[in-house]
């Protein structure tokens, strides 16, 4: 079946602008995660959804970042008043959400955000 | 919080065996995972250790020692396509089982 998809693959914006990044998880996966990865570093957790609700948003760096998953499938990460420091690869991952401690997460190809 | 340390870079020859180490600090976790990421690609799951010991999956094996706060990924019969970054990650003690990643080890396989 189809994997996790993310759009756009690349986004270039100007400082101060608003951006939306979209994630389509694997069908049937109830758990959805957003991570941010800077060049040469590991992914850093941003937010986790179980179904429609944000179960843990402790990784969001500040209140300019917000994410939604209104129907329990597609998720949108929203960044207001973008800053140059927001430039990074934004990765989305999904998992079946069962009580499986292995918790294999399936990652999308990411959206490369560049803030000029 | 949690933190994981990995060597930044490892170089090995095609056909050889290489071990990528990971040390961590945490107050508790479910298990240690390993992910592979090729340049420009998405991280993909390789292996998971919930218990101490060795887990083998084809050419890849992963090891965990909770008492030593240490794990490693062992890659055998290296191939050029194994050139990638490898990340260890802890699965957290929380409802979401989110991952905390190390900084990654860049493996270069030479002919």
Confidence at residue A98, expressed as pLDDT on a 0 to 100 scale: 67
Q: Is the dihedral of CA B82, B84, B90, B91 positive or negative?
A: negative
Contact A101 B89 (CB under 8 A): no
Nearest CA in chain A to B104: A42
Residue B51: burial class (beta carbons within 10 Å; 0-12, 13-18, 19+): exposed
Tell me how far apart the alpha carbons of residues B95 and A50 are, in angstroms, rounded to a whole number: 9
Å from A87 to nearest chain B CA?
15
Confidence at residue A7, expressed as pLDDT on a 0 to 100 scale: 97
Preferred mutation among B31, B37, B99 to probe A, highest tally of A CBs within 10 A? B99
How many angstroms separate the Cα of B64 from the Cα of each of B50, B51, B57, B96?
8, 7, 15, 22
Confidence of residue B98 (pLDDT cuts 50, 70, 90): confident
Q: Is the dihedral of CA B55, A94, B44, A112 positive or negative?
A: negative
Confidence of residue B30 (pLDDT cuts 50, 70, 90): confident
Confidence at residue A46, expressed as pLDDT on a 0 to 100 scale: 96
- Cβ neighbours of residue B59 closer than 8 Å, sequence gap 6 or more: B75, B76, B77
Helices (DSSP H) in A27-99: which residue ranges?
A: none
Confidence of residue A99 (pLDDT cuts 50, 70, 90): low
Which position has the token pair 């250790």? B49
Contact A102 B50 (CB under 8 A): yes
Preferred mutation among A33, A34, A59, A103 to probe B, highest tally of B CBs within 10 A? A103
Contact B96 A106 (CB under 8 A): no
Q: Is the dihedral of CA A86, B102, A2, B81 positive or negative?
A: positive
Interfacial residues of B (vs A; Cβ cutoff 8 Å): 4, 30-31, 33, 41-45, 48, 50, 87, 89, 91, 94-104
Indicate the residue of B43, B50, B87 with minimum beta-carbon distance to A101.
B50
Bridge-based pairing state of the strands B105-110 and B9-13? parallel
Percentage of chain B modeled with pLDDT above 90: 86
Tell me the average pLDDT across B67-88: 97
Confidence at residue A51, expressed as pLDDT on a 0 to 100 scale: 87
Model pLDDT for residues A36-90, shown as the tens digit of each residue: 999 999 999 999 999 888 888 999 999 999 999 999 899 999 999 999 999 999 9
Tell me the average pLDDT across B33-49: 95
**Is the CB of residue B3 less than 8 Å from the CB of residue B89?**
no
**Is the CB of residue A49 less than 8 Å from the CB of residue A55?**
yes
Tell me the average pLDDT across B60-77: 97
Percentage of chain A modeled with pLDDT above 90: 83
Å from A67 to nearest chain B CA?
16
Which position has the token pair 């927001």? A86
Tell me how far apart the alpha carbons of residues A59 and B34 are, in angstroms, rounded to a whole number: 21
């Amino acid at each position: 079946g189809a994997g996790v998809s993310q759009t756009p693959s690349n986004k270039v914006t100007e400082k101060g602008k608003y951006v939306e990044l979209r994630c389509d998880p694997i069908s049937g996966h109830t758990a959805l995660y957003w991570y941010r990865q800077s060049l040469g570093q590991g992914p850093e957790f941003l937010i986790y959804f179980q179904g429609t609700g944000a179960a843990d948003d402790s990784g969001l760096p500040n209140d300019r970042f917000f994410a939604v998953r209104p129907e329990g499938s597609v998720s949108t990460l929203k960044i207001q008043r973008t800053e140059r420091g927001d430039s990074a690869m934004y990765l989305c991952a999904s998992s079946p959400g069962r009580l499986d401690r292995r918790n294999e997460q399936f990652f999308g190809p990411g959206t490369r955000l560049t803030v000029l | 919080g949690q933190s994981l340390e990995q060597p930044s870079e490892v170089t090995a020859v095609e056909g050889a065996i290489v071990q990528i180490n990971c040390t961590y600090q945490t107050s508790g976790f479910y298990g240690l995972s390993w992910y592979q990421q090729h340049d420009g690609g998405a991280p993909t799951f390789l292996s998971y250790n919930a218990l101490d010991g060795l887990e083998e999956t084809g050419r890849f094996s992963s090891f965990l020692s909770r008492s030593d706060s240490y794990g490693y990924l062992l890659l055998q019969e290296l191939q050029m396509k194994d050139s990638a970054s490898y990340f260890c990650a802890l699965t957290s003690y929380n409802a979401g089982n989110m991952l905390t990643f190390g900084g990654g080890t860049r493996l270069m396989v030479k002919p």
